[in-house]
Amino acid sequence: MSTTPVMQVIGARLSLGGRKILDGIDLELHGGEVVALVGPNGAGKSTLLAAMSGDEPLEAGRILLHGTGLGQWGIGRLAKLRAVQTQESRVSFAFTGEDVVRMGRAPWAGTPEEQRDDTIVAAALETSEAEALAIRTVQTLSGGEKARVSFARVLAQETALLMLDEPTAPMDIRHQEQLMTTVRQRTARGATAVVVLHDLSLAAAYADRIVLLDQGRLAAVGDPEDVLTPQNLQQVYRYPVTVVRDPGSGALLITPLRPHLARPRLPEGELI
């Protein structure tokens, strides 16, 4: 790709509490792609996302957004360029779902964009099927419902870069698929998305590129077929997995080995 990458991570290093969390990460995000960050617990996925969103300062290396250092953008301008969904979606006071989604419009206050607030908030609620949650107090919602409200807030922010940290973790299948479909719709229109995922089949189905992290380093980066191989995954997760193609769709299905499900040996001579 010849155009300037949306984001460039160059030699990112970061330690927390004396432990190396990111150990020399180089990564580029391009316009129109969905990049999934995968890897075992403690691999540095969330920290990398936090660094890319400007929350965690690096010890070494640089992160450029549209060719300019993250720190140079200023908090207000960053809010118009990238939206972040964190893992936690606690709200301190009894704000309703709609209040929270409307907060996503805050960066656009005082600009002409502000006039579209109502339309955008309503559309975001609809997209994440959160209309029924709009009048409910967020504190009383379940984990998955909170995550849907958070995702609607991120959508309402209308930025060209989406950074989502395990957005689907608390969600049911329907909403997982809808969320990832929405993300792809946004990227089809030119946005860029970087998503931390634990569900490898979900990542394989929706991501253009997979970034496999292991102990703060890039274990593999590339197309899902190339990265999500049994060898790579077994090495990184320290657990045997099988990768098969769904006979219908051809999608990659990644399942851990489950010895207790080993097919019972059939008595000799018996027909199935």
Partner 1 sequence: MQISVPEILASVGHRLGLDWGSLPAHPHAESALWAIRFPRVLMAVIVGAALAAAGVLMQGVFGNPLAEPSVVGVSSGAAAFACTSIALGLSFLGPWTTVVAAFLGGLVATALVYFTARHGGRTEVVTLVLTGVAINAIAGAVIALMTFLGDTSAREEIIFWQLGSLNGTLWVNVAVAGPIALLGIALSFGMTRKLDLLSLGERPARHLGVNVELLRKQVIVVVAFLTSAAVSFAGIIGFVGLVIPHILRMALGPGHRMLLPASVLGGALLMLAADTTARTLVPNADLPIGMLTALVGGPFFFWLIRRTRRGAGGWS
For binding to partner 1 (CB under 8 A), which residues are involved?
50, 53-55, 75-76, 78-80, 82-84, 86, 88, 90-96, 99-100, 103-104, 106-107, 109, 139-140, 157
8-state DSSP, 158: -
> Contact 206/175 with Cβ under 8 angstroms?
no
Toward partner 1, which CB reaches closer, 84 or 254? 84
Strands 161-165, 82-85: parallel, antiparallel or unpaired by DSSP?
A: parallel
Residue 85 structure tokens: 């969904």
What is the Rg, in whole angstroms, of the alpha carbon atoms belonging to the chain?
A: 20
Q: Measuring CA to CA, how many Å separate 88 from each of 21, 144, 166, 167?
A: 20, 11, 10, 10
Toward partner 1, which CB reaches closer, 196 or 200? 196
Toward partner 1, which CB reaches closer, 79 or 251? 79
Toward partner 1, which CB reaches closer, 36 or 163? 163
Toward partner 1, which CB reaches closer, 106 or 251? 106
Least distance between partner 1 and beta carbon 263 (Å): 46
How far is 223 from 24, CA to CA, in rounded Å? 21
Least distance between partner 1 and beta carbon 143 (Å): 12
Least distance between partner 1 and beta carbon 272 (Å): 53
Phi, psi at 193, each rounded to 5°: -135, 135
How far is 159 from 124, CA to CA, in rounded Å? 13
Least distance between partner 1 and beta carbon 155 (Å): 13
Least distance between partner 1 and beta carbon 181 (Å): 23
